[in-house]
Chains A and B, each alone.
Chain A
């Protein structure tokens, strides 16, 4: 079984500043890793995913994440945020070959002008 811990429940940030959202996971097997974004009253949209290969993964809307196997982390970053990035962000994990996702509790990002 896997579990995900998102270390920050809320992250306030000013527009055009960088942001980092922290995610740690635990699993006894190799995993796939994902970041999803959820806007108010909407479903989840995939930002990026790590399956294998390069540990630096680039996603949509200027986001990127780095997989660190030794630290079992998958932190999400954006160098310069916009007001439109205000949303809930979820880190998720699934084991290889099996597609059920286990989600963290989410991080609320609020971007202020």
Chain B
């Protein structure tokens, strides 16, 4: 068990460019979550998957954001036409549905800076 892995750890991009982040969850976990954390704030829920199905999307997730989890394994989060307001830490977490109560394990995050 190597934990939740996120790549890249840091990304600097110019405004208007597209970026894609990857998350590899703990292998037996069937639920995967994306959160966004801005400076001085707690993480905010963006979306989650159960296996390959995207079951909920936050209103924070504008049309420029898309997430996928093909085959219920790794997930990608793409941001199109980035804006300076997209600068944040993007956190991925995974959990196993069926345990008594959840424990979400978080990755180290991808820090996005839009210049």
Contact = CB atoms under 8 A, between A and B. Distances in A.
B103 A46 contact: yes
Contacts of A45: 106
B56 A100 contact: yes
A100 B40 contact: no
Interface residues of B, number: 28
Given A32-B101, A42-B108, A100 B48 contact: yes
A43 B91 contact: yes
A43 B6 CA distance: 10
A56 interface: no
Q: Which of B33, B95, B100, B101 has the most CB of A within 10 A?
A: B101
Interface range on chain A: under 10, 10 to 19, 20 to 34, or 35 or more?
20 to 34
Contact of A94 (B4, B41, B102): B102
A52 B95 CA distance: 19
A8 B102 CA distance: 26
B21 to A, nearest CB: 13
A10 B35 CA distance: 23
Nearest to A45: B106
A44 interface: yes
A102 B35 CA distance: 10
Contact of A100 (B33, B101, B106): B33
A74 B4 CA distance: 27
B85 interface: no
A44 B43 contact: yes
Interface of A: 4, 32, 36, 41-46, 49, 51-52, 90, 92, 94, 96, 99-106
Interface of B: 4, 6, 31, 33, 35, 40-45, 48, 56, 91, 93, 95, 97, 100-109, 111
List the 5 shortest-distance A-B pairs measured between CB atoms, nearest first: A103-B42, A51-B101, A99-B102, A43-B106, A44-B106
